[in-house]
Structure 1
């Protein structure tokens, strides 16, 4: 009879019903959302909906168009999408034009590899065409992969650095820099990639350990005051640069001594280093610890000269002083080759030395080097130099050591300093009657730019303080040409590079693209340039015949200058003619922490020069992906997780929840187990949404607001909800996504699922449809559901849209066109804090009693709690019983919590409650008064 009764009453229960399925099937369903958003033109509709709203200007740093996206892209692009969606839902107009960096060495290197021997027969223009195809292919691939991440952007019109209108924007920046006198060309040592035969920027270097030789060399002193056998001892870790030696530098304030090596030879070196150096060279303890024969300050060594130990030119070379010489290592006397080091170069300029570099672009010695080195690779020269020094008796000591050394970021090969003619942007020259570019950048980043996290400020400023002049030229085919035009052979004069000439080439590129540099004549490139109206033009350029026969420069721009000009090409003037909702400067730049020396810095410098202000108000940085052991992820180590595999296994919303839950301030450990954890959390969020949605009849979303007594559990739930709303909006505003996800997860898992929804489940299932209490709860749940879906939408766009349509109907518009709810002032009785604190004690007492009495269901219990001050009087005992999951709740004036066993009393066969009103009804079943009334039974 009991089983039959249960079957009879189950259909009378208001059990949850919703099209929002328990199983998400993200892998299958998310691509359908992508298609639907594309068909609905969601991005354009969102722009139209926010066209009159306050602007939030966000700019995309362009990823490189090479290969598929990896976990770093996943992190970066999801964070950016959360910003775009959340700012839009906060009522801002937040247009977002995605970009791609398309020029440069990595693409050209890969294309040349693919072409093989054919590449040697191809013109630069043919190579450029192949590179363009390669870049277009990978832009298309990455675009589809980013769409699969559920990102929302203007993918129909992205900015590509190889597009003519973008190239025009870059040259306009360059023209302004030329006008301010910041661009110059000079023979100067720069980081040089031997393997790729091009100059490199600091941002294109990576540091790896390398084994090298550390040598101490005797240079014979040659001036008139020299004693027989007297030498100066230098130290170097680059033996191959010794053929380019032109001076020895001493620290002006350090102390130097002359030490006897034997009865014939003596050497000068720093007194603080003498014992260590002499002992390393095998000298006896007596020699190593001997007092110097004489002592001088470094500044008193000036005037000494010496001869090179293995060159036959017999030219004397000077001992000079330099502030950068330290006594940390070596001998205190520094081998100086102005063609092979930045500090050496500065010394060379000051001392009027030649900027001599006997190394060709392929890393071999030219014919000015000794014949035994000519044609040899520099790395092959090291043992030859050591053999030569050893044979002549000038090698005092040699040992190998491991140190961090700069390598080409793409080829992973060691780089060298090599003096070549390059184009530079000066960072220390004053301009516009004001300070230098470096000083302006340091001033702006001191307190005007906001850095998130805060340590980014010191990192950025440290890099600005130490950076050299910016070498902006590269020796590649695939790039934006530097528009320098040189006079014809036989005609003297500097290259034509004026603001007006650069602007003319910019106009030409805007119409024909930068391939015009390789197709058109100089006269055609300068079609809109008027030499008569250009006071900066060199004299030779006034002759049309000279212009007609002029030579076009072969250098291209550093890709950092191209991407670093995006604030002008994309944001300052608007990427689209019709676009009026962009502005300058932008509110936010967001990239990885390596971009303090990359895109952030190379955007800041030209922007300050051209506009007088930074291109960004806030710089937000994130760390890098490493494996669970903290090691860099790479395919060679086999410790990578492919984004494609992640999408196939878990889907984008789970991956996005994982990204949002990260502490991105530092490097991020990655493992499949972490994604599984994110999947578990996602399922709990989804189950909470499903219960909310399933418990709401259609009318609940449209009926007027019922009165909500402040002592009701519904008032408490609304008050908690409004706290979460306020906190969530604040987290979105501050880009604090990890605390946001903890807030939302705990709200769903604890505040809602474990407390409120558990407490109101009975009335939702069992109250009559027109019960005021049920309708009040449905109204509150509808409010919570609607607001919660919108709070989750920027992070879980597919799931939120699915839930939104389950809530509002299939024909409803996308949730992403909605705005986040504002918190309301819904009062809850102040005693609720006391109730929730006491609830923890009550639940412990209930659990203890349940276990002692072997009762499975807490509804078999009744609870009586102490309330001496009558503080629980404002609260409905039924609410409090439901809050604790028991059948009855009462208070008394005593001090003890009393848990009563009600298992011997009648139980309602519909609600399972033992509330004291259960009796047999007219249908023969045992029902409480509430359940009988709901069914219309006596």
Structure 2
């Protein structure tokens, strides 16, 4: 049995075949161009269809909207929910309700919709509930900005109402855009994080995690935004690579020299531990100088000043260069030998700083000794906790030094004038060796785009260190697309030891805790929790601000909690981090189930993906998703981040509906936007711009042209009465079905893997290579010139009907408007239904026929040899003779042409010549002025057990007959008379 080809298929995308196809199309076009003079035109079956090839402008927009109405886009989700089928759940990560829809929204929502529509067509009952993230500072700031000066006088409940109004207006704009893009959902049943039921569910999860010991209050350093006066989680930061800080090399005088250095140091007062910092403002809060226990440290003498410095041995040379000094190494010790050393604070009299070991110290930058301020660094805080050091925060909520920092620093902003003052104080104390500006990556508040600081404050935290091991274990069982994202997310989880969830604002869900006025001890338990959950279900979280304290904390609850007087307590003023808000969406939307897919941008590896994972594992001991699909960020065509201030934003509304100047910004419609999104589901940055959109539109036009050709040639075909069984088809038709089955399998697998870019590549390759450049080029003679009901023509139409159906269904999830338009144009649909209500591709396994593949691809190899000998010429102008000695290849060619010479055989159709002769030996009377081409074709039998390589020869010479006035082939005895095939077709219809 023939199972595969060793040679590449001859009918693939070769320049020779493309040229021949173009020339053949040009000859066919003559039917149209000579309509008035060709009396045989009316006997030619030319395509008929009103399917437009290049709709544009208002016509395109009106057509898409018409399709949405007539094909039931708005009812499709509810229809499929009411049928039987396997449940498929894609949980929608809620977009933030703080601005107009942008291309990031388009990318995300369209990718989700492609998955949902594919699953729907495969028979699943899709569960997809769109949602919005409605709380938080960005919305609050936008709402307050609309109020102007009035914002300063508003009470919290008034701010909340204005923020909610703003969020609701934003949601409606975004919802309208999502509907216009063709996103399938029940848009009347969405979820919102400000809903009463959602907020109540959030409190349930919070209390469950609190009861499990995962939520606690503590005083420790957190990322703090002076510009918004609130704590931030790491997911709320963005890093500015161009930030400039004041860096300083500072001396810490040793008042107690480690014993191992005492002999070499001589006078202790002249020994200084040398540190380098990019945040001099933190030096007033210094409590220690840390070293690396296993590294080497050197005591050096500065030959410029005669001072003795202690620093890492690896850093001696680089530090000397930076300080423009010469160092002489006096002694080298290990880090552990520094134990017991004590420094004097460089600018605060009477304060000492111990030399302490720490694992976070490196020799990569600086001096190998690290200035440690526990209130202003995460690692610093860990050192302080281990060694019981003081954690004194000298910076207030606005980023200014407090009174505790001293008169020189009080009320100065730490990142500019405060920094400068500290540097001047160091200089005045003769403790500053060098200061300079350094450009480096620095965390910024992602909302205000202003730098943050790290400062200690009392906050509420989730103990992620106790959750992450189980979370990582479960995450490894999740499928990530692309898989490379797995390591990124695991690493992020590994670094996250705690999660600050309290925020110092008012637009959000309050942290449900009361504080004792005198002791500041928090009151939170199952009694307070159950009561507040009931109140939230009835009133929403506004009740925290609208109801009196004795209704929030009743006497009965206080008695059960061990208290006595409600007036002894105050309610907390912090709200929950919005990542906690959205992170518990699984509890409200999934209702105890696990989502099949979460799909978001790569920033959510540290955001919603992670907050959902941590809260679900903590509260339910399980992961809320089976698969994560990750996509990149959208950039403009030049690879730059889009910004309104720069003016390089690509607006999806302008893409779809066009801009003020249609010549500059033409309307592309929703399907072009969807095509762009489908090509872009990769874990890289995704470009969008005019050239990219035009390329997408051109690709769709190519597809439309292919679909139009098939529709036009099926106008008189009814598959129920005219269809030809595959076993009765011509071999090339069976071969095309074989290719179609292979395409169907590959495109289905690509959809399953969410590789929509591959779907598009497969589609374009199939329509360009297999259809336009191969199949369509060789079947036009059959379609146009054979008898309308001949088996040869019906065989071809049966294939076209199958191909049209497969292509339409395969592209439907990506281009629903185009697919529905094609479906409505199919003439065999008496009452056309939506393509989405009729299922997925119905490819048949019987279409796979390896033996036929050998025959067709062998013929294509021979045909390529023929075409290579007539570059730039029309193949119809030639007759060819193929010589193959007795072999398997000859047997295959004889299946394509039973007679010795033919102008109508399957072999001649493939050769695209006027006549083909098949012989076993070179004829004695070779035509004059003919060319002889030689070639070889290899056939692989029985999985490689038998390999047969066969030689062949092709004799090429000019056609010997006249050009038929009807079919344009050189097969007629007279230029005025049709050839015999054409005469047989038109016989009985009219006389010549």
TM over 0.5: yes
Q: Which moved more, 1:267-276 or 1:379-388?
A: 267-276
Pick the aligned partner of 2:393 from 328, 336, 357: 357
Structure 2 residue aligned with 1:915? 971
Asked if 1:212 is matched to 2:245, the reply is yes
Q: Tell me which residue corresponds to 2:479.
A: 450
TM superposition shift of 1:646:
1.6
Deviates further, 549-558 or 259-268: 259-268
The whole-number CA distance in structure 2 between the counterparts of 1:398 and 1:32 is 68
The equivalent of 1:91 in structure 2 is: 123
- 1:414 aligned to 2:423? no
Q: CA deviation at 1:756?
A: 2.0
Contact 1:768 1:935 in 2 (8 A): no
Matches within 5 A, 1:369-384: 369-379=405-415, 380-384=417-421
Match of 1:385 in 2: 422
Per the TM alignment, residue 925 of structure 1 is displaced from its structure 2 partner at its CA by 10
Residue of structure 2 equivalent to 1:513:
540
String of CA shifts for 1:696-741, please: whole Å, max 9, x gaps.
Answer: 1465143264334365322122222111111111111111212211
Give the Cα–Cα distance (whole angstroms) in 2 for the partners of residues 602 and 202 of structure 1.
12
Superposed CA deviations along residues 493-521 of structure 1, whole A, max 9, x for unmatched, are: 63222244334323322221111111113
CA contact under 8 A between 2:209 and 2:618: conserved in structure 1? yes
Q: Kindly provide the CA deviation profile for residues 868-912 of structure 1, in whole angstroms up to 9, marking residues without a partner as x.
A: 33321112553333333333333122343233433x634333322
Asked if 2 retains the 8 angstrom alpha-carbon contact of 1:275 and 1:289, the reply is no
Aligned in 2, Cα 1:794/1:612: closer, same or farther, shift over 3 Å? same
Cα deviation, residue 827, structure 1: 5.4
Q: Taking structure 1 as reference, are residues 875 and 240 closer, same or farther at Cα in structure 2, changes over 3 Å only?
A: same
The answer to whether 1:860 aligns with 2:877 is yes
Matched residues in 1 for 2:55 and 2:216: separation?
60
Counterparts of 1:296 and 1:40, CA distance in 2: 75
Which has the larger displacement, 183-192 or 621-630?
A: 621-630
Counterpart pick for 2:315 among 273, 278, 286? 273
Task: Assess, with a 3 A threshold, how the Cα gap between structure 1 residues 36 and 132 changes in structure 2: closer, same or farther.
Answer: farther
Which of 497, 508, 524 aligns to 2:551? It is: 524
* 2:277 alignment partner, one of 236, 245, 264: 236
Offset of residue 190 of structure 1: 0.3
Could you say what secondary structure the match of 2:379 adopts? helix
**Matching residue of 2:804:** 785
CA distance change for structure 1 residues 19 and 196 in 2, over 3 Å: closer, same or farther? Answer: same
| 1:405 to 2:459 alignment | no
Alpha-carbon distance in 2 for matches of 1:727, 1:261: 71
Partner Cα separation in structure 2 for residue 171 and residue 505 of structure 1: 8
Q: In structure 1, what is the equivalent of residue 914 of structure 2?
A: 887
Query: What is the CA distance between 1:89 and its match in structure 2?
Result: 0.7
Q: Which structure carries more relative contact order (alpha carbon 8 Å, separation 6+)?
A: 2
* 1:66 partnered with 2:98: yes
SS of aligned partner of 1:356: coil
SS of equivalent residue, structure 1 residue 359: coil
Matches within 5 A, 1:104-503: 104-208=136-240, 209-223=242-256, 227-261=268-302, 265-283=307-325, 285=326, 288-292=327-331, 296-312=333-349, 314-379=350-415, 380-428=417-465, 436-446=466-476, 448-487=477-516, 489-490=517-518, 492=519, 494-503=521-530
Residue 821 of structure 1 is matched in structure 2 by: 841
- C-alpha distance in structure 2 between counterparts of 1:611 and 1:445, whole Å: 15
Query: Match of 2:126, SS?
Result: coil
Shift in Å, 1:234: 2.7
Partner SS, residue 235 of structure 2: helix
**Counterpart check, 1:610 vs 2:644:** no
Whether 2:732 is the aligned partner of 1:703: answer no
Task: Give the drift of 1:753.
Answer: 2.2
When structure 1 is superposed on structure 2, of 391-400 and 24-33 the one drifting more is 24-33
Query: How far apart, in 1, do the equivalents of 2:534 and 2:70 lie?
Result: 40
**Is the 1:424–1:469 contact (alpha carbons within 8 Å) kept by the matching residues of 2?**
yes
Aligned match for 1:570, one of 569, 574, 589: 589
Residue pair 2:298, 2:310 contacting (<8 A) in 1 also: yes
- List runs of 5+ in structure 2 lacking aligned partners: 1-30, 259-266, 659-665, 898-903, 922-951
Matched-pair contact (CA < 8 Å) for 2:671–2:815 = yes
SS at match of 2:896: coil
Task: Indicate if the aligned counterparts of 2:880 and 2:955 stay in contact, CA closer than 8 A.
Answer: yes
Which whole-Å CA distance do the structure 1 matches of 2:711 and 2:462 have between them? 61
Q: 1:624 aligns with which of 617, 633, 657?
A: 633
Q: Deviations over 1:815-844 (max 9, x none)?
A: 111211232113547143343343254255
Residue 364 of structure 1 and its aligned partner are, at CA, apart by 0.8
**Structure 1 unaligned blocks of 5 or more:** 429-435, 574-583
Q: Deviations over 1:445-496 (max 9, x none)?
A: 33x1111111111111111111230111111111111111223x34x46322
TM-score norm. by structure 2 comes to 0.85
> Which deviations, in whole Å up to 9, do the C-alpha atoms of 1:583-606 show, x marking residues without a partner?
x22111111111111111111111
- Residue 777 of structure 2: which of 747, 758, 766 is its match? 758
Tell me the secondary structure at the aligned position of residue 319 of structure 1: strand
Distance 2:769 2:857 in 1: 13
2:606 corresponds to 1:597: yes
Q: Distance in 2 between matches of 1:200 and 1:96?
A: 31
Closer/same/farther in 2, CA of residues 662 and 259 from structure 1, 3 Å limit:
closer
- Please give the secondary structure, in 2, of the residue aligned with 1:303: coil
The equivalent of 2:50 in structure 1 is 19
Match of 2:955 in 1: 898
Residues 247, 276 of structure 2: 8 Å contact kept:
yes
* Deviation at residue 864 of structure 1 after TM alignment: 2.6
Q: Residue 518 and residue 265 in structure 1: after superposition, are their counterparts in 2 closer, same or farther (change >3 A)?
A: same
User: Partner of 1:431 in structure 2?
Assistant: none
Shift of the alpha carbon at 1:350? Answer: 1.5
- Whole-angstrom CA distance in 2 between matches of 1:900 and 1:500: 98
- CA–CA distance in structure 1, aligned partners of residues 35 and 372 of structure 2: 100
Q: Distance in 2 between matches of 1:328 and 1:846?
A: 65
Which of 103-112 and 21-30 deviates more? 21-30
**Contact in 2 for aligned 1:756/1:883 (Cα 8 Å):** no
**1:289 aligns to what SS in structure 2?**
strand
Flag the 1:5–1:473 CA change in 2: closer, same or farther, 3 A: closer
Q: State how far apart, in whole Å, the 2-side matches of 1:527 and 1:32 are.
A: 58
Q: Deviations over 1:419-445 (max 9, x none)?
A: 1111000022xxxxxxx3111122123
Q: Distance in 2 between matches of 1:23 and 1:906?
A: 38
Are the aligned partners of 1:340 and 1:417 in contact in 2 as well (CA < 8 Å)? yes
Counterpart Cα distance in 2 of 1:252 and 1:920: 102
> Do the aligned partners of 1:173 and 1:610 also contact (CA within 8 Å) in 2?
yes
Measured in 2, the distance between the counterparts of 1:529 and 1:673 equals 69
Over 3 Å counting, the alpha-carbon distance change for 1:16 and 1:351 in structure 2 is same
1:641 to partner: Cα distance: 2.2
Q: Distance in 1 between matches of 2:375 and 2:391?
A: 5
Local SS of the residue matching 1:8: coil
Deviation at 1:850, TM superposition (A): 7.2
1:769 to 763, 773, 788: 788
Change (3 A) 1:207 1:837: farther
Match of residue 677 from structure 1: 695
Cα displacement string for residues 798-821 of structure 1 (whole angstroms, at most 9, x for unaligned residues): 000000011154742211112112
Partners in 2 of 1:229 and 1:86 — Cα distance? 76
